[in-house]
Structure 1
Amino acid sequence: MSPLLATANHTGPDLGAWLLLAIIAAAGYLLHSVIWPYRACHKCQGAGRFRSPSGRAWRYCNRCGGKGAQLRTGRRIWTHLKSIDRDRR
């Protein structure tokens, strides 16, 4: 078989396998978010506060409110899905 003919017989990427892989990855992330709902704040690296410019005082992080952690997107999705299920009943 010539290389040109072998190339012509190629059907393309298997989209079913990629879709299955994407579904497994999304389910894995959702499970990860259910087990560990919080992540470290990106702005303060989980400390929850910053030193003032003078270096003598602390100020709280505006993004996380001084907690040092933020709720993951996957956990927000999980909570929304649970509230839809709860409202349906």
Structure 2
Amino acid sequence: MLLAASALILLTLAGYAALCTVQPFAPCRACSGTGTRKVTRRGIKLCRRCHGARYRLRAGRRLTNAGRRLHADGTRTHRTRT
């Protein structure tokens, strides 16, 4: 039972990682992918979360990008003698 639950969790995480790799952007949840929040007499107000772009970066992709940036900043470049 425990082995099956662990395998199911790992399979779910692997599927989400593949989804973040293939499709890193998802429709904004605040505006449902329209890019607008309200239409007023003065004009259209853009969504605060996506700033009118209609898409947001997935949480898994944000985590992956932060990990890559941290690794790149923490590793030294190989110097060659001239």
Q: CA RMSD in A?
A: 1.8
Q: Which residue of 2 aligns with 1:45?
A: 32
Q: Which residue of 1 aligns with 2:16?
A: 29
Alignment of 1:1-89 (within 5 A): 14-54=1-41, 57-89=43-75
1:22: Cα distance to partner? 0.3
Which structure 2 residue ranges, 5 or more long, are not aligned? 76-82
Letter of the 2:6 counterpart: L
Q: Secondary structure at the match of 1:31?
A: helix
Give the Cα separation in 2 of the matches to 1:19 and 1:88: 32
Give the Cα separation in 2 of the matches to 1:85 and 1:17: 33
Which ranges of 4 or more aligned residues in structure 1 deviate by more than 3 Å?
A: none
1:62: Cα distance to partner? 0.8
Q: Please identify the structure whose Cα radius of gyration is greater.
A: 1
Letter of the 1:68 counterpart: R
Letter of the 2:54 counterpart: G
Give the Cα separation in 1 of the matches to 2:45 and 2:38: 6
Which structure 1 residue ranges, 5 or more long, are not aligned? 1-13
